[in-house]
Amino acid sequence: MFFEVRIFDAEGDLKKVISPKRLSNRFWKHGEQNLIDFGEKENRSQDWDNQKAAKDEYQLEDR
């Protein structure tokens, strides 16, 4: 099931409205090629934790 999508510009003015039928047609035409894999998001957060730990390793110590 698809819902109407409204696209706004930076000022908050409505630029475009995409109907549910159009979204459905686009989905079935292009298939799973354009779907976002949200599973990768978890890996990014782990990378961020590793980068943060690496930065902390080089901090100066108080004397």
Global confidence as pTM: 0.46
Share of the chain above pLDDT 70, in %: 49
Cα gap 7→39, rounded to integer Å: 26
Residue 2's nearest CA partner among 17, 15, 19 is: 19
Q: What is the mean pLDDT of the chain?
A: 75
The helix (H) or strand (E) run that includes residue 39 is: helix 39-57
Residue type, 15: K
Cα gap 12→39, rounded to integer Å: 32
Q: What is the average pLDDT across 32-59?
A: 60
Cα gap 55→49, rounded to integer Å: 10
pLDDT top residue among 13 and 54 = 13
